[in-house]
Amino acid sequence: MIDLSGKSAVVTGGSRGIGRAIVLRLAEQGADVAFSYRGNVAAAEETAEAVRALGRQAVAVQADHSRPEAGDIVIKAALEAYGKVDILVNNAGITRDDLIMRMSLEAWQSVIDTNLSGAFHAIKAVTRPMLKARSGRIINITSVSGQAGQMGQANYSSAKAGLIGLTKATARELASRGITCNAVAPGFVLTELTQGLSDALQAEINNRTPLGRFGTPEEVANAVAFLASDEAAYITGHVLAVDGGLVMM
């Protein structure tokens, strides 16, 4: 059984969807959690209360990860609350889908700033305390879109592909100090975003997925909890697909 007792974790974008499932999974396994949210105060408070109901501590931090200072803000809050950060999960992300010929510069830049640069700034902020502790787990949430590309998602696919490169570079830089860095690449997962897809599109996605169904946020969270644990101590620079077999590499 995965045991994260005594660990403290930071999850960016942790108030809803996959991020919320990750926050709760880490708390269930014994970790205290600080998580960021952009604007939905009610969802953040509900998630924090759910963590406390599990007997763990929770800190909700409002931060916009398109801005460089957001990483420092959330890591500082966790250090002030818990004195250390053992686990960082970079989950914060947005979509601004459009075809390349119609995509605005703002739509391109905002997705790159949030999904890729936001993760860089959080990693940069956590590196010093993890180096001092000579241990740590960094997990980046990428996507099948970053592995195979997706029509209408040049910005999102580019950011998520960049996260894979960032994961591998971070893994090489920090390995000598006992810090691992891995990525989880979800496929199509049932969230508020995907539940709005038409029945025809959902059926098409299921047909393309060898396991024949959407994933759940909890299944992604299970992979994150494993990579955050002592059981994954010899795994670094890896991209773990949680996609029902959609992308086989």
| Residues with active-site annotation | 156
Cross-strand pairs, 87:
9, 137
Report the 10 Å Cβ neighbour count for 3. Answer: 12
Q: Measured between alpha carbons, how far is 143 from 140 in angstroms, rounded to an integer?
A: 10
- Measuring CA to CA, which residue among 19, 57, 241 is closest to residue 144? 241
Whole-number Å distance between alpha carbons of 11 and 240: 18
CA–CA separation, 169 vs 63, rounded Å?
25
The C-alpha atoms of residue 27 and residue 56 are separated, in whole angstroms, by: 6
222-242 b/e with 16+ CB inside 10 Å = b?
A: bbbbbbbbeebeeebbebbbb
Q: Mention every residue, 6+ apart, whose C-beta is less than 8 A from residue 135.
A: 86, 177, 178, 179
What is the spatial order of strands in the sheet that 58-62 belongs to?
A: 58-62, 32-37, 8-11, 87-90, 136-141, 179-186, 239-242
With a CB cutoff of 8 Å and minimum separation 6, the contacts of 172 are 237
Cα 81 to Cα 59: distance, rounded to the nearest angstrom: 8
